[in-house]
Amino acid sequence: MANANVCGRGKVSPRRHVPAHIPKPPYVNSRHSPGIASGPEVHDERGIECMRASGRLAAQVLEYAGTLVQPGTTTDEIDKLVHQMIIENGAYPSPLGYGGFPKSVCTSVNECICHGIPDSRALEDGDIINIDVTVYLNGYHGDTSATFFCGNVDDEAKKLVQVTKECLDKAISICAPGVEFNKIGKTIHDHADKFRLGVVQQFVGHGVGRVFHSDPVILHYRNRERGQMILGQTFTIEPMLTLGSTNAMYGPMTGPQ
């Protein structure tokens, strides 16, 4: 979230209102990005239940957001409706006010890697769009995203999205207490290599819970970082693949599915 990408071509509307009765995370109204908090967060039974609730709401919001994707719809309209659904469920849209981020959801279209800011740009036939939803519910953040097709998307883009989803699924499947975190990166990189796709290294997964971004840092490429998964941890895995150079900020790519 600290690296918000102004990827659109339109105007950004004013910040949306959140009712006073909805609890807000501590970073709201501060333009300073909190960054990644050090030290892993391990949940007790109540914490796990809270994480399930926030994750469930985030998933429901994301599913709804996906139904809004069609040619002619602006990413700002998606933000407006996502914002409304989140606050109607008594939650706070976590991106809003995080490090000065002006919107309630991230919408990353085509070459935008991630953290795209919703604006007045209308989606076009053939676009792909990653929608990244995080909600703050009862003191816990639920974080999820997916890439959606807008109209008739070409086969190359469809394949990119499919392989990224496969990378995510394979990485999730190896998670268990005691597993080295670096196996996530190897699993993703190995599968991407089979299709000659690049793995973006500039952005990472992260611990999530009472804090929006915390340890562990999850690298999606081959690495030798140490650290093992602990029972009761929650963290995101966010592989981002590209058809072009992984060193460039642009070139058709897709984020977590």
From the annotation, which residues make up the binding site? 115, 132, 143, 206, 213, 238
Non-local CB neighbours of 113 within 8 Å, separated by 6+ positions:
5, 200, 202, 203, 240, 249, 253, 255
DSSP secondary structure letters along 55-111: HHHHHHHHHHHHHT--TT-BHHHHHHHHHHHHHHTT-EETTTTGGG--SSSEEEETT
Query: Which residue ranges are tagged as binding site for substrate?
Result: 115, 213
* Residue set of the binding site for a divalent metal cation: 132, 143, 206, 238
How far apart, in whole angstroms, are the C-alpha atoms of residue 75 and residue 170?
A: 30
Give every CB contact of residue 85 below 8 A, 6+ residues apart in sequence. 61, 64
3-state secondary structure of 205: strand
- Residue 121 DSSP symbol: P
